[in-house]
Every structure is written in C-alpha cells, then in structure tokens.
Amino acid sequence: MDQLTSNKDTGSAHAFPGLPAPRGIWASLRLAFRFALREMRGGLRGFYIFLACIALGVAAIGAVGSASKALTGGLNEQGRQILGGDISLSAIHTPSTEEQRAYLKQFGQLAQLASLRAMARTADASDQLLIDIKAVDGNYPMVGDLVTTNGKTLAPGSLIVDPLLLDRLGLSVGDPLVIGVKQFTIADSIADEPDALASGIAFGPRVIMGLDDLQATDLLQPGVIVRWITRLKMDGDPSLSQVEAVIEQIRAEFPDAGWRIRSRADAAQGLKRNIDRFAAFLVLVGLASLITGGVGIANAVQAFISGRQTTIASYKCLGAPSWLIVGIYLMQIVFIAFIGIAIGVFFAALVPFILQAVIPDNLPLSSSLFHPLQLGKAALFGLLAALLFSMRPLLRTRSIPATALFRDQIAPVKYRASKRDWLIVLALGALLVGLVLATAEVLYVAAAFLVGMVIVFLLLRFVAFVIMKVAARLPRFRHVVPRLAIANLHRPGALTPSVALSLGLGLSLLVTLVLIDLNLQQQLTGNLQQKAPNFFFMNIQNSEVDQFEAELEAMAPEGMHQRVPMLRGRLVTLKGIAARDFEAPDGAQWVLRGDRGITYSAHLPENSTLVEGEWWPQDYSGEPLLSFDAELADEMGLAIGDSLEVNVLGRTISAKIYNLRQVEWQSLAINFVMVFSPNTFAGAPHAHLATLTLDPDGKESAEQIGQRESAIMKALVQDFPAVTSIRVGDALDTVNDLVRQLAWGMRAASSLAIIASILVLAGALAAGQRERIYDAVILKTLGATRGKVLQAYSLEYCLLGVITAVFALIIGHVAAYLVLTEMMEMAFAWQPLVSAIVVVLAMLLTILLGLIGTWSSLNRKPARILRNG
C-alpha cells in the first residue's frame, strides 16, 4: 500500500516487477522504447489533429523558404544573362565618354543602351500609347538571345515591339509606327527578351530600336530623362571576386562619373529584395500558424494523456519511475511529430517543382530545386514546436501520485510545475526563439513578432480567466438551458481556457492578415484613383512650356493643372560622408541609390507642410539652400544646417538644409524629396513636369472623363511629340496588377490561418470530449432530453465563440494597425464588414465543431459509461 500511495521516484526500475533493472542510459532508453512501441500498436487515433498542425506549419515554412531560394537562386545563377553582361554602369542624362569606353574595353566587350519613356502613335494619329524605349547598339545582346516571333532581326528604321503594343494599337508586323518625329516600321514582336528583369517595371510596352534611330526621333532634348547604360562583358568566365575587383578599379579611375554600378550578383536587385522581404513575412505567418497549431498540439497531447490515465496509474502502482513514464510517452509524441514533419517537408519540397511549371519563362529558377537547408529549418521549427507544446501535459504525469490519476476525472489535482519543469519548458522556448531570430531576414520584425505572440497568448489567457470569473458571478437563471450553459463556462475542467486560446489565436491572425490585405488594396488602388491627377506630363521643354500650358488651358479650362521645373540629381555626400558610405536605415536607402528627381521653387510646394525652419525669401540670391523631406531627414539623421552635395548634369553643387517639410506622398501630386532655392540652377538646361486633373469637383462620370482623356492625349501627342503623356489610370492599372499578385499571397496566408484555427479548435474540443460524454450521460440519466442538452451546449459554444471573436477582433485590429502604420508607413482604415463576418464565422464554427463532438457523446449508452466511470 505504501508503494501504491507514495510511489516516490527512486530513479531505478527495480521497483517495477517483472522488468530487468536497466544498466546505464542506453538500457533505460531501450526499455522506454519497448513500452512505447507496445502502446503504439493501436495506431494514431487521437493524434490526427496533432499531425495536421505539425504538417501544416512545417509545410508553410518549408514551402516559402524553398520557393524563395529557388527564385533568388535562379536570379544569382543567371545574373550574367539577366544583366546582359558582368557589369552595368548607368547614369541619367550623360552617356559614357570615349575616354571611359576606351578604359572599359581593356576588360572585355562593351554594349551601349539608352532607355526612356515616350509616346508612340499610329501613322494616321488615330491612337497613341505610352511606351518604354530601349535603344541598343550592334553588340546587343552580349549574353543570351533576343528571340522574335518570326525570327526577324533589328535593322535601321525598324522596331521590335512587345506584342501588347500590337494588341492595344490594333497593329500588325510590317505596319508603321511614329515615335517623336520619326516613322518606323514594325519588324517583329518580342518573344523573349533576355535582360527584361534588369530593366525593372515598365509602365508601357517595350519597344526596341537602334541607338542611331533614337537620335533621329528628336526626343533627346535638354532635360529629358534618359538613362544611358554601358554594359561590360568581361573576357572568359570571371568569378564574382574578379568582377568586384574590376568595379573597384572603375570607381577609382572615374570617381566623379556618377554611375550607378551593378554587377551580375545584383542583376535584379529590387526583385530579389522584394522576394526576400515577402518570403520573410510569409515565413512569419507560417510560424504564427505553427505556434497557433501548437495549442492544438498541447490539446491533442492532453487528450492523449487523459485517455492513458488508467495505464499511467497502473505503471506507477507497479513501481515505474517517473522518467520511464515520461520517456514512454515522449518517444511516442516525437515519433508522431516526425511523421507530421515528414508530411510537411514532402509537400514543401514539391513547391519549387510546381513553380517550374507555372511561373513565366523570363523568371529563372535555381538549377537545384531541392533546398535541404530550408526544409531542415522548417523541420526543426516543427520539432521544437511539438516538444514545447507537448512538454507541459507530459510533465504533469510525472508530478501526480498514482492515486490522483485514478480520481483525476472527477477530482482533478491542480498541477504545480516544479522549477525543473519550468526550466525544461523555458529551454525549449528559448531554442525556438533563438531559431526564429537567427534565421530572420529582418531582426527587429522577427523580434516584434515574437513579442506580439507572447502578448496575444497572455491576453487570451486573461480573457478566458475573465469569462470564467464573470460566469461564476452571474445570478442563476430560472431556465435550465442558460443555467447549464453558463455553468459549463466556469466549472472544473471547462473548455473556456482552451477554446478561448485556440479560437482567439487563429482569429487574431486571420483578422490581422485580412485587414492588411484590404487596406493595401484600398490604399494602393481605391484611394489613389480618387486622389490622383488624370495626367502626368514629362519632358516639357523650356521653349514650348508656354504654348503647352495655353493648349491645356484651352482643352480643360475648368481643370486643375500644376507645373514645376524638374532635373535629376545624385547625392554625392551627406554631412561630409560619401553617399555610398553613409549609414541609412533600409527604409531610406533608396534615396542614396542612383539619381533622384529634384526641383527648385520660390514658394512652398503644394501638398507640403513646413514643420521646421522657414522658407527662403522670393528674391533670395545667396548660397544654395535646400528643403528636405522631414520624415526621411529624421530616419537618416539629417538636421537643419547640415550640408549635402548633389551632382546635377555633371556639376557637383553643395547646399545647406534650410528647412524640413512634411510631404503628402499619397496624393500623387508633384512632390520631391529635395527642393532647392531658385538661384541654385540659374541658367541650367532642364525640362518641366506637369499634372492635369480634369474634374477636381467630381461632377463628371467615368465615361465622360475617359473620352476627354483620350481627346487630350491625342491632341498633345500630335502637337508635342517629345512630351511624354502618362495617363495615370493606365499606370495605376499596372500597380493594381502587382497589388493583386501580392493579395494572392496574403489570401493564401489567411487561408492558412483559417485552417490552423479550425484544427486547433477541433483539438481543443476533442480534448474535452471525455468530460462531455460524462456530462451528457449524467444529464440524460437525470431526465434531460437530447434537445435540451444540445441547446445548452449550443448556447455555451455560441457565447464562447462570440466573446472570443470580439477580443480577437481587437487584437487583430491593433496588430494590423501597427504593421501598416509602423512597418509599412501607410494609413489604416477600419473594416466593419470584416468585423461582422469574423464574429459570425467564429460563432458558427464553434457551434458546428462543438455540436459534432457533442452529438457523438449523446449517442453513448449510459450504462456502459457509468459502469466504466
């Protein structure tokens, strides 16, 4: 009897009758393994949700990691073809000189290109279109092949065009096309452009012509934005270190050339950076789903241990030490976790092969489509999550005496974790946190994610505590159904803590993702459409600016137009530090890369607010002064009085920051990071930029606006062929396409959150299944009808679902607000429809899953349950 009641852990198996005393750790492990195998002969019943949670999280993390590496690996492997050489040197306005080209030729073969946006029109001027011109010399392409639909090549006076241009203008190969003042013949259409990714996003169809023909278009006017590119294909097959060494030599030889220099290692740097960032975000979503699923894992293990209570009690009564019991069930859980991990890894490994079949041909994939490091990382995440969330219910069995296990069903013993138990759980948690931080692309985002998950866990536990306390203090209802439902919320063994945590985590993640998705679409499509002007006009020459404005006034007298001078400049130094050595946060790095649009003004620009300093006098004639964007200045550590050097048209100008202003970038009006005092560029050749808003009061219909836009564009292209007219609606359509593609990723992540939420909730309800069976049997024995029991349970689940959903809405809105405003720096808008749908979804889901389990409990025969209970 002493053995039965005390069962102190002696660390030995001598007290376990019939078992040989194990000698050493390996013999002990073999003993635990033998009993674990015996218990697993019954199959995986009760562990299906456990398996699904592990497999889902591992598959999500592994799939995103594998897809990201397949895409970025392809960009790295085919960087030479994407860039069109080993090194690309580009500058706005100024092509490379004979001296520079002669120096570069010692390293290999050169090709010259020019790119700009312009207008193309049909020969009869009946239609026109914004195009993206790529003018090339005879050495293009040095790497890869320009493949045309009919096999034709580029000849003087001819064009090779994007098939989209033919569709939009209703033209065919062989038809004429006018660009600037020159008429061309369309020789063929592009089937494969080897360096398309290096050119970035095009807001119009690509048109390829010869460099000599570009000169004949009369588009190369002073101030016109033309990017001149010199590509170098080095002799042989140089390594990346050799390429970087040549780049350093070029920089040392021409320190003031103003080139933006890229190597084949960063051929599509912007695309690669976006892939990495979006993949990092989706990995965190997958990890959030895995951690949410961890609650399902804990529930499944708790239900499994609960179903093994008699067996565990028997082991303890026979003298089994605690380590043996924990070892037996830990081995089973690890084995089952490995099955779930293997399933997740299998599906994740398939993703690159699926991408190979569905992505466009011009987006390269890595030659190796199997990425063991990414899959291994996902597997390690899965194993750590399984151990972390399984350990507490496992350790509970070690700390409870054998007699308590027999009566735990009706008089549960409160588990008080020892210091050793907490150390084990904390060590596993620290390993998981360390792995997240060690593999994070952006450390502070990963850290914020982990802190957010901990806060959400604690909040939902507090919510469950509040629900139980309030339910316990409510007055007793006269009707049996609400009385029973309220009692079930706070009774011993209630489902409230597990359901609140399970449902709350999944819904919080879902609400966060959906709100981010909807706000992105609204901000980048809906709001922009309403605020944006109808046209942007670029490359307006000084000699024609008055005539251009007069024609705009005649065609749209009630419209609102704005015009500013525009130049291109490159930051050379900031506070005496070279721009390439200046340390700036990721969000401000774009200001330091390449050329930026700049302007000058005697007055504070529209859509700007002065926040520090004062504006210079209208007749100011002193040293060059500069107005800088306040938000960027704060990020970059710039202040009033700091000096900056900017290279404009080959001339380096030093200016002092005189004031800081807040810029409303979302308005899509004309805005610049840097605005100079007018005397800075006196006499410098430059063009002008203008906007036109046709209906500022919003009185005309979309059809009327569309007709007026077409008429204005047709007239301006005929009268001012060198002016680039950008129809903002068409440009926003391109942005919308990108947003839609991004939205698919967000929706996939949202779907993952829904699945994880359903699995975890089902696990939470399954964990309380035994208690529900006993409750239903007792109620039926006491005379309750099946309908009354169903009504009571339905009301209980409905209350749990609605209360949890409300708190999940609050948590989700706060999380989405922080992501949008702090990380993405965008406005946040509440979405009431989403809130209503989430509440209804949560209520229906909880009732449905709860009643499915309850229905099975109502079908149990009371006599068998009461005899066995």
Q: What gap in Å lies between CA 717 and CA 127, rounded to an integer?
A: 10
Average confidence (pLDDT) over 757-776: 66
3-state secondary structure of 576: coil
Question: At which residue do the structure tokens 């805005």 appear?
Answer: 671
Looking at every residue in the chain, the average pLDDT score rounds to: 81
Give the sign of the dihedral formed by CA 200, CA 673, CA 582, CA 257: positive
**Dmax over Cα atoms in the chain, in whole Å?**
108
Average confidence (pLDDT) over 542-569: 86
**Is the pLDDT assigned to residue 10 strictly greater than 60?**
no
Amino acid identity at 343: I
CB-CB contact of 657 with 639 (8 Å)? yes
pLDDT digits (tens, 9 = 90+) for 44-62: 666 777 888 888 888 888 8
C-alpha dihedral (230, 264, 590, 90), degrees to nearest 10:
0
pLDDT at 165: 93
Domain count, the chain: 4
Instruction: Write the DSSP assignment of 731-779 as a string of letters.
Output: HHHHHHHHHHHHHHHHHHHHHHHHHHHHHHHHHHHHHTHHHHHHHHHHH
**Is the pLDDT assigned to residue 575 strictly greater than 60?**
yes
Omega cis (within 30) before 321: no
Q: What gap in Å lies between CA 723 and CA 812, rounded to an integer?
A: 48
3-state secondary structure of 475: coil
Average confidence (pLDDT) over 524-545: 74
CB-CB contact of 159 with 114 (8 Å)? no
Model confidence band, residue 450 (pLDDT cutoffs 50, 70, 90): confident
**Is the pLDDT assigned to residue 633 strictly greater than 60?**
yes
Q: Both 404 and 547 in a single domain?
A: no
> At which of 685, 704, 729 does a domain end?
729
Q: What gap in Å lies between CA 500 and CA 498, rounded to an integer?
A: 6
**Is the pLDDT assigned to residue 403 strictly greater than 70?**
no
> How would you label 745-754 residue by residue, b for 16+ Cβ within 10 Å and e otherwise?
bbeebbebbb
pLDDT digits (tens, 9 = 90+) for 605-616: 877 889 999 999
State the DSSP H helix or E strand holding residue 133, giving kind and residue range, or none if neither.
Answer: strand 128-136
The distance of Cα 68 from the centroid of its chain, to the nearest Å, equals: 12
How many helices, marked H, and strands, marked E, lie in the chain?
26, 21
Q: Both 298 and 433 in a single domain?
A: yes
**Is the pLDDT assigned to residue 869 strictly greater than 60?**
no
**Is the pLDDT assigned to residue 650 strictly greater than 70?**
yes
What letter would DSSP give residue 117?
E
**Is the pLDDT assigned to residue 8 strictly greater than 50?**
no
Q: What gap in Å lies between CA 117 and CA 524, rounded to an integer?
A: 23
pLDDT at 718: 83
State the DSSP H helix or E strand holding residue 188, giving kind and residue range, or none if neither.
Answer: strand 182-192
| 768 belongs to a structural domain | yes
Name the more confident of 492 and 331. Answer: 331
**How buried is 103 (Cβ within 10 angstroms: 0-12 exposed, 13-18 middle, 19+ buried)?**
middle
> At which of 410, 441, 472 does a domain end?
441
Average confidence (pLDDT) over 214-224: 86
- Which among 454, 466, 302 is positioned nearest to 800, based on CA atoms? 466
pLDDT at 483: 85
> At which of 729, 744, 760 does a domain end?
729
Which residues are 687's β-sheet partners?
541, 566
- Listed range (83-92, 194-203, 573-582, 704-713) with the worst mean pLDDT: 194-203
Q: Both 302 and 351 in a single domain?
A: yes
| 17 belongs to a structural domain | no
**How buried is 577 (Cβ within 10 angstroms: 0-12 exposed, 13-18 middle, 19+ buried)?**
exposed
What phi and psi values does residue 156 have, to the nearest 5 degrees? -55, 135
Name the more confident of 314 and 474. Answer: 474
State the DSSP H helix or E strand holding residue 297, giving kind and residue range, or none if neither.
Answer: helix 269-307
| 15 belongs to a structural domain | no
Q: Both 526 and 553 in a single domain?
A: no
Q: Map 414-468 to HEC letters.
A: CCCCCHHHHHHHHHHHHHHHHHHHHCCCCHHHHHHHHHHHHHHHHHHHHHHHHHH
Model confidence band, residue 844 (pLDDT cutoffs 50, 70, 90): confident
Strands 227-234 vs 87-92: parallel, antiparallel or unpaired: antiparallel
Strands 260-263 vs 108-121: parallel, antiparallel or unpaired: unpaired
- Which among 48, 44, 282, 65 is positioned nearest to 758, based on CA atoms? 48
pLDDT at 588: 80
Q: What gap in Å lies between CA 705 and CA 698, rounded to an integer?
A: 10
pTM (predicted TM-score): 0.72
The domain of 60 spans 32-78+271-315+324-441
pLDDT at 456: 86
pLDDT at 614: 93
pLDDT at 201: 66
Name the more confident of 640 and 67. Answer: 640
Q: Both 484 and 574 in a single domain?
A: no
Amino acid identity at 627: S
**Is the pLDDT assigned to residue 2 strictly greater than 50?**
no
**Is the pLDDT assigned to residue 109 strictly greater than 90?**
yes
Q: Both 577 and 711 in a single domain?
A: yes
**How buried is 18 (Cβ within 10 angstroms: 0-12 exposed, 13-18 middle, 19+ buried)?**
exposed
- Which among 303, 338, 310 is positioned nearest to 325, based on CA atoms? 310
* 58, 774, 864 from 867: Cα distances, Å: 43, 11, 5
Q: Which two tokens stand for residue 186?
A: 């369309």
pLDDT digits (tens, 9 = 90+) for 781-799: 777 777 777 788 788 878 8
Q: Both 525 and 434 in a single domain?
A: no
* 30, 108, 332 from 43: Cα distances, Å: 21, 67, 11
pLDDT digits (tens, 9 = 90+) for 517-528: 787 777 665 555
Name the more confident of 324 and 405. Answer: 324
pLDDT at 389: 87
Q: Both 93 and 236 in a single domain?
A: yes
pLDDT > 90: percent of the chain? 22
Which residues are 118's β-sheet partners?
131
pLDDT at 326: 83
| 779 belongs to a structural domain | yes
- Listed range (635-639, 697-701, 854-858) with the worst mean pLDDT: 854-858
3-state helix, strand, coil in the chain (%, to 5): 55, 15, 25
pLDDT at 108: 93
Which residues are 565's β-sheet partners?
688
Highest mean pLDDT: which range of 29-38, 65-74, 631-640:
631-640
- Listed range (322-331, 338-347, 696-705) with the worst mean pLDDT: 696-705
Name the more confident of 673 and 531. Answer: 673
| 846 belongs to a structural domain | yes
C-alpha dihedral (574, 575, 580, 584), degrees to nearest 10:
-80
CA angle (173, 176, 177) in 5-degree steps: 105
pLDDT at 295: 77
Q: Both 485 and 389 in a single domain?
A: no
Name the more confident of 254 and 854. Answer: 254
- Which among 748, 843, 721, 826 is positioned nearest to 178, based on CA atoms? 721
- Listed range (21-25, 478-482, 680-684) with the worst mean pLDDT: 21-25
Given its phi and psi angles, is residue 101 left (phi above 0), alpha (psi -120 to 50 degrees) or beta?
A: alpha
Q: Both 411 and 365 in a single domain?
A: yes
Q: Which residues contact 240 (CB under 8 A, 6 or more apart)?
A: 263, 264, 265
Name the more confident of 90 and 503. Answer: 90
The distance of Cα 156 from the centroid of its chain, to the nearest Å, equals: 45
* 423, 424, 462, 770 from 414: Cα distances, Å: 19, 19, 19, 18
pLDDT at 197: 80
Average confidence (pLDDT) over 13-33: 59
Q: What gap in Å lies between CA 205 and CA 164, rounded to an integer?
A: 6
Q: Which residues contact 44 (CB under 8 A, 6 or more apart)?
A: 51, 336, 339
What phi and psi values does residue 78 have, to the nearest 5 degrees? -105, 25
Q: Both 735 and 707 in a single domain?
A: no
| 26 belongs to a structural domain | no
Q: Which residues contact 552 (CB under 8 A, 6 or more apart)?
A: 559, 561, 690, 692
Q: Both 582 and 725 in a single domain?
A: yes
Omega cis (within 30) before 141: yes
pLDDT at 431: 92
Model confidence band, residue 15 (pLDDT cutoffs 50, 70, 90): very low
Model confidence band, residue 22 (pLDDT cutoffs 50, 70, 90): low
| Other CB atoms within 10 Å distance of the CB of residue 112 | 18
- Which among 183, 235, 244, 242 is positioned nearest to 209, based on CA atoms? 183
Q: What gap in Å lies between CA 532 and CA 794, rounded to an integer?
A: 51
Q: What gap in Å lies between CA 721 and CA 731, rounded to an integer?
A: 20
Q: Which residues contact 559 (CB under 8 A, 6 or more apart)?
A: 552, 692, 693, 694, 695, 696
CB-CB contact of 571 with 579 (8 Å)? yes
| 405 belongs to a structural domain | yes
Q: What gap in Å lies between CA 187 and CA 160, rounded to an integer?
A: 6
Q: What gap in Å lies between CA 120 and CA 714, rounded to an integer?
A: 11
> How would you label 283-313 residue by residue, b for 16+ Cβ within 10 Å and e otherwise?
bbbbbbbbbbbbbbbbbbbbbbbbebbebbb
| 204 belongs to a structural domain | yes
Average confidence (pLDDT) over 698-702: 75
**How buried is 419 (Cβ within 10 angstroms: 0-12 exposed, 13-18 middle, 19+ buried)?**
exposed
Q: What gap in Å lies between CA 665 and CA 655, rounded to an integer?
A: 24
What letter would DSSP give residue 617?
P
Highest mean pLDDT: which range of 175-179, 419-423, 445-449:
175-179
| Other CB atoms within 10 Å distance of the CB of residue 457 | 15
